[in-house]
Structure 1
Amino acid sequence: MNNENVFFNPGDAIASSHDFKEARRSAQIIKADKPTAGQIVIAKNTKNGTYAIYLADKIRDDKQGEPYEIKDKL
């Protein structure tokens, strides 16, 4: 998967983790519980290295968010 850089407001995160596998497992559970919620992305904060789970429609511009690198999409 090509890495894509986007911006998110950290307060919009559904969940977060320091471990990618744990973040992915959480994202799968969220997606299974709410299959109509839209696309879920797992993003790595480029400043502190933590992973966060967001709904894809929460992407912001560089003036309203922090930089993240998309690691996976569900």
Structure 2
Amino acid sequence: MNNENVFFNPGDAISSSHDFKEARRSAQIIKAGKPTAKKIVIVNDTENGKYAIYFADQEVDQGKGKAYRIVDKL
């Protein structure tokens, strides 16, 4: 697993789940539906264990978003 932390606005999540496999499957469906889409990251909220999916370019500065740990990149 990756220990890289990133910051996103929680309201910008494409999808979220408590199950990593479900989150990854959702990310794969999103990526397959838009093959030219930007890079997608699956992140983990270490406070509640929930996984969220974001477009990587939606990352924000530390003071403007919530910290997440990158789990996977597509």
* Structure 2 Cα separation of the partners of residues 35 and 65 of structure 1: 27
For this pair of structures, how many residues does the alignment match?
A: 74
Partner of 1:69: 69
Superposed, which structure 2 residues align to 1:1-74 within 5 Å?
A: 1-74=1-74
Identify the structure with the greater helix proportion.
2
Structure 1's consecutive aligned runs of 4 or more residues displaced over 3 angstroms after TM superposition are none
Secondary structure of 2:35's counterpart equals coil
Structure 1: runs of 5+ lacking an equivalent:
none
Alpha-carbon contact 1:47-1:67 (below 8 Å) kept: no
Give % identity. 73
Structure 2: runs of 5+ lacking an equivalent:
none
Deviation per residue, 1:28-67 (Å, 9 max, x gap): 0000001111100000012211000000001111111101
Deviation per residue, 1:7-33 (Å, 9 max, x gap): 110111000000000000000000000
Secondary structure of 1:63's counterpart equals helix
